[in-house]
Amino acid sequence: MSGSSIGKNFTVTTWGESHGKAIGVVIDGCPAGLPLCEEDIQKDLDRRRPGQSPYSTPRNEEDMVNILSGTFEGITTGTPISLIIYNHDQRSKDYSQIANVYRPGHADYTYHQKYGIWDYRGGGRASGRETAARVAAGAVAKKILSRLGVKILAYTLSIGPVKIDPEYFDENEIYKNPLAMPDRKAFQKAAEYIEQMKEKGDSTGGVVECMINGLPCGVGEPVFEKLDAVLGKAILSIGAVKGIEFGRGFGAAFTTGSQNNDPLTYIQNKGLVKETNNSGGITGGISEGFPIVFRAAFKPTPSIRMAQKTVTHDMQNTELNLGGRHDPVIVPRAVVVVEAMTAITLVDYLFQRILSRMDLIKKALS
């Protein structure tokens, strides 16, 4: 299976299955000299970890990470960093009923048709559990970015019909409530809505918004590797993401040029400023040096307890009633996954930025 690696200068390769012995990731291209310990990575894994609230799967995985290589006395050595997370709470028998059935909304049918074999236990590589390896790599990338003054902040913008009110935005709330919503009132409404879905045996989707601050102007490669294009690829590689928009996004299609353009002004002792940020901080595929803002749309969890029409492997019509342990909503645990994929992409393209000008290369070698 190809397609498990991302990045050229900062390369991340994940491996493992949902119900295998372990999952993990290899990071190649991390510079030497970065202080790194397991605690740095664990704090992000704890944000993604299942079984912590009524709004996530009760699967009880500690997701404890072990650094196997790439560091010496707590400092990166410049060699590949290998991280492993052991699986402990698999219940493969929960999936025996679907061994010969394609689950609606899952990758069962497409994987089986492509490879001729299918690990039905939790979805194998298609499982959301694979994202734990991404989060581990993203924690390393975020530590690099923190040394460069770049900050990534993601949060739940909406769940189902419930959306946060910017007037009540409180960054601290993201880490206080289990839905990662920066609006306490919206959290309470969203929690009620999720409970309604759970009672019906249904699930819900939502939107994650991400803001990037401190990224300098000039990051991104024109034409085929624009910064918004590679960020889009990274975010869309998260299994449940079905759409992404930057800045004004799809709303820009319903405006005029005079409404959508961002007026520029130079202010003495302050520099260049923008009155609006409809571009989302990226123009021509290159970062502007202003905040980058994008939103990712997540589909509802496909594993639901309601009866669904489907077919067996030999194309016999049947009805499926799923058991097992599933998230009623994916979004809250996906917030840190969005941060991780964003960080991995930014580090890769920040390193690429150095190669774009002779003065930057000379500075890097001085």
231-238: average pLDDT: 98
What pLDDT is recorded for position 59? 55
Residue 43: other Cβ atoms inside 10 A? 11
Please, what is the average pLDDT of the chain? 92
What pLDDT is recorded for position 168? 97
Question: What letter does residue 232 receive in the DSSP assignment?
Answer: H
DSSP H or E stretch at residue 58 = none
Backbone φ and ψ of 357, nearest 5°: -145, 145
Interatomic CA distance for residues 354 and 362, integer angstroms: 9
Residues 38-94 have pLDDT tens digits of: 999 999 999 998 666 666 665 566 889 999 999 999 999 999 999 999 998 655 555
Residue 75 CB partners (closer than 8 Å, separation 6+): 32, 33, 34, 35, 36
What pLDDT is recorded for position 183? 98
Check residues 101 and 2 and name the one with the higher pLDDT. Answer: 101
Residues 302-342 have pLDDT tens digits of: 988 889 999 999 999 999 988 665 788 999 999 999 999 99
Interatomic CA distance for residues 100 and 145, integer angstroms: 46
342-357: average pLDDT: 95
What pLDDT is recorded for position 110? 93
What pLDDT is recorded for position 251? 97
What end-to-end distance do the CA atoms of the chain give, in Å?
41
Question: What letter does residue 53 receive in the DSSP assignment?
Answer: S
List of domains in the chain: 5-365 (3.60.150.10)
Q: Is 202 helix (H, G, I), strand (E, B) or coil?
A: coil
R_g of the chain, CA atoms, integer Å: 21
Model pTM? 0.94
Residues 269-309 have pLDDT tens digits of: 989 999 999 999 999 999 999 999 999 999 999 988 889 99
- C-alpha distances (whole Å) from 314 to each of 98, 99, 123, 318 are 13, 12, 19, 11
- Give, to the nearest 10 degrees, the angle between helix 227-236 and helix 331-354: 150
Interatomic CA distance for residues 149 and 144, integer angstroms: 9
